[in-house]
Amino acid sequence: MLILNAETVRGMLDPLFDSGALVEALAPAMESLSRGEVSLPPRIAAMVEERSAYLGTMPVYLKEPEILAAKIISVFPENDPEHHHTHYASILLFNPKSGEPIAMLDGSDITAARTAAGSALATRLLAREEAKTLTIIGNGVQARAHAKALSRIRDLTKIQIAGRDPAKAEQLALELDAELAITVSSHSSIEHAVREADIICTTTHAAEPVLDWSWLKPGSHINSVGVNPQGREIDAATVQNARVFVEAISSALAPPPGGANELLWPIRDGLVNEDHICGEIGALSSGGIDGRCDDTEVTLYKSVGVGVQDAVAADLVYRQAIAKGLGITLEN
């Protein structure tokens, strides 16, 4: 079995972003998921209620390309970021012919990369062609990954970072401005940053909405990737008024911690029903459903993370590692 640590995995993810390989690999996999060709059982989790945390498992089997994988992820949102990450993950790959384990990869960076690649795919399919300004709400790993991913699939003129902690938002903006070939700045007001944006990414663990419908410009596109079993980062009015897409309807509407309260709570409160979800991003990618209908419509991609994305990303990294002779091999 091949062991790939965090440093090795991280070194291979940037080229996958730069080349667009990860986004391109996700598109057909999501299409297969929407056609019912992927075995993707609901996420299960052991709850650590006294820390508002959980340990989740996400198994998946894809027929094309044939991948058998499982991710184990711990989510401890109350961790002090100076001492521990909020998410730790490991991804196991198995031989789909025999079931033999063939690789174990550190999954933390893969989780961030595949989530951002999913948002990049959704942005490519749903955002207006003339969208130029990106606002990212959040200042963690997902915020950084989204800045990298979206800057490579759209010709943006400006990225703004805003968050509940302005000092951290400013620090992330400085780092990204030095790293990316685009102007990145921080904004002290989330509201003002949203009002100026064509594309908005919410990447928080907020219990209360960080985005309000009244702030959005006509024609905006939103990628919401934050998941909090006790809250939501998008207000109900945005969900009511936007054209909504998800990775998998069954996953988005699953009970916590798997589903999206952004959708579950408006349904619970009678504000919308399940049919308000226009469809899955895979069906949109394949042309099976319509996306944006006009340039004034607001579109929303609500992501909860699905194992098929982890499997595809891990398989790409694994194949690169084999080709380059990287990693540590252990006898099974």
Q: pLDDT of 53-76, one tens digit each?
A: 999 999 999 999 999 999 999 989
Confidence grade of residue 278 (pLDDT, cut at 50, 70, 90): very high
Distance CA 110, CA 6 (A): 9
Mind listing the pLDDT tens digit for each residue in 109-158?
Answer: 999 999 999 999 999 999 999 999 999 999 999 999 999 999 999 999 99
- Specify which residues 74 forms β-bridges with: 55, 88
Q: Report the predicted TM-score, pTM, of the whole model to 2 decimal places.
A: 0.95
pLDDT of residue 78: 87
By C-alpha distance, which of 265, 196, 215 is closest to 236? Answer: 265
Where exactly does CATH 3.40.50.720 map onto the chain? 116-306
CA angle 35, 43, 120 (to 5 degrees): 60
The second-level CATH assignment, the architecture, of 2-110+308-329 is 2-Layer Sandwich (3.30)
Q: What is the DSSP annotation of 278-301?
A: EEEHHHHHHTSS----STT--EEE
pLDDT of residue 268: 97
- Specify which residues 7 forms β-bridges with: none
Distance CA 275, CA 246 (A): 12
Distance CA 21, CA 201 (A): 21
pLDDT of residue 18: 83
Q: What is the mean pLDDT of the chain?
A: 95
DSSP state of 211: B
Where exactly does CATH 3.30.1780.10 map onto the chain? 2-110+308-329
pLDDT of residue 294: 96
245, containing H or E segment: strand 243-246
pLDDT of residue 43: 87
- Burial level of 281, CB count in 10 A (0-12/13-18/19+)? buried
Among the CATH numbers 3.10.20.30, 3.40.50.10800, 3.40.50.150, 3.40.50.720, which is that of 116-306? 3.40.50.720
Mind listing the pLDDT tens digit for each residue in 71-116?
Answer: 999 989 889 877 888 889 999 999 999 999 999 999 999 999 999 9
